Amino acid sequence: MLLARTTPAGLPRPLPLLGHALQLLWNPWEFPGAVRPLGDIVKIRIGPRPAYIVNSPDLIRRVLVVDAMRELTAEKAASWRDGEQIALDQELMQLTLRIVGKTLFNTELRSAAVDEVVRSMPTVLSGITKRTFAPTKLLEKLPTAENRRFNQANRWLREVVDRIIAEYRRSEVDNGDVVSMLLLARDEETGEGMSDAQVRDEVVTMLLAGTETIADTLSWALHVLGQRPDVEARLHAEVDEVLGAGEVTFEHIGRLPYVRRVISETLRLYPPAWLLTRRTSEPVTLG
């Protein structure tokens, strides 16, 4: 990332040792606004480390939006053939797993890791759902074939994430993915980072939350479109008008209101998470 100037005029002076950390802490809303007129990217210091405030909407999108979803979706769609019968829910589950996997693990380990996750995830998800509604935990202890499959898949899933975290720790390279972000995160008060177990739990949670729900929603949306040619035709017309012959980008999303309405109505009729559970760790008062 190249900067035209590293000390723009008008930037508040950094404090010894602390840099701009206290100014950000005291004025978390005002400080970014005050440096916005100074350039698209403004270099500041958090303690001894340099940091960069990105002000340009286009550059912010470059930081926050990845092309993985479009590329992997196009690759998956291109593998389908006219007249071919496919298990759509399974195909979309593999697609969402690979999208989440690529976002989480952006290294040469990713392909093998995602393959292992794809094999393990359906068994883990099914087991978690059944355990949520089980009247007693004793059922989890029974030596049934289903429990053995769940325990093995659960162990594989965590082992592959542990291997990736260990490799990241050894390389100390920021790969620009979610795992790197978690490993680099520091507590604002103590300065401590997350343990490997904490990072693993965060990654597994993202894998669980970001795959089945999306795959289910897309499966139901395509099911409805198959029943309603009029809705499908209107959706295609909007996509053709907005995209033309080009590829979908983040900028197109706000210009596809009918697509958004189709997805929203699908979520209303067929919510993938129709019931959520939380286990309290301390007394809670509601209402």
Q: Which residues are bridge partners to 19 per DSSP?
A: 15, 46
Determine the pLDDT at residue 220: 95
Q: How many CA atoms lie within 13 A of 253 on its CB side?
A: 6
pLDDT digit string, tens, across residues 202-239:
888 888 878 888 889 999 999 999 999 999 999 999 99
Looking at this protein, which amino acid is placed at residue 270? Y
* Closest to 215 (Cα-Cα) out of 112, 74, 88: 88
Q: How many CA atoms lie within 13 A of 10 on its CB side?
A: 11
- Number of residues assigned to the chain: 287
Which 3 state secondary structure label does DSSP give 20? Answer: coil
Determine the pLDDT at residue 3: 41
Residues 135-147: what's their mean pLDDT? Answer: 83
Determine the pLDDT at residue 2: 41
Pairing of β 41-46 and β 49-54:
antiparallel
Can you state the percent helix, strand and coil of the chain, rounding each to 5?
60, 5, 35
* Closest to 100 (Cα-Cα) out of 138, 157, 152: 157
On the question of pLDDT at 275 being above 90, the answer is no
> pLDDT band at residue 278, thresholds of 50, 70 and 90?
low
Cβ distance 199 to 182 under 8 Å?
yes
Q: How far apart are CA 196 and CA 205, in angstroms?
A: 14
Lowest mean pLDDT among 70-84, 152-166, 173-187: 173-187
On the question of pLDDT at 10 being above 70, the answer is no
Determine the pLDDT at residue 142: 87
Lowest mean pLDDT among 128-132, 208-212, 241-245, 249-253: 128-132
Lowest mean pLDDT among 13-27, 96-110, 223-237: 96-110
* Closest to 178 (Cα-Cα) out of 72, 99, 103: 103
Which 3 state secondary structure label does DSSP give 36? Answer: helix
The secondary structure element, H or E, covering residue 50 is: strand 49-54
Determine the pLDDT at residue 257: 95
pLDDT digit string, tens, across residues 145-156:
999 999 999 998
Mean pLDDT of the chain: 82
The secondary structure element, H or E, covering residue 22 is: helix 21-26
* Closest to 94 (Cα-Cα) out of 270, 214, 263: 214
- Token pair in block for residue 109: 């380990």
Determine the pLDDT at residue 71: 82
Cβ distance 52 to 1 under 8 Å?
yes
Burial status of residue 165 (CB atoms within 10 A of its CB: 0-12, 13-18, 19 or more):
buried
Determine the pLDDT at residue 172: 81
Determine the pLDDT at residue 62: 65
Q: Look at 268 and 207; give whichever has higher pLDDT.
A: 268
On the question of pLDDT at 98 being above 60, the answer is yes
* Closest to 162 (Cα-Cα) out of 111, 209, 123, 105: 105
Residues 62-91: what's their mean pLDDT? Answer: 82
pTM check: above 0.85 = no
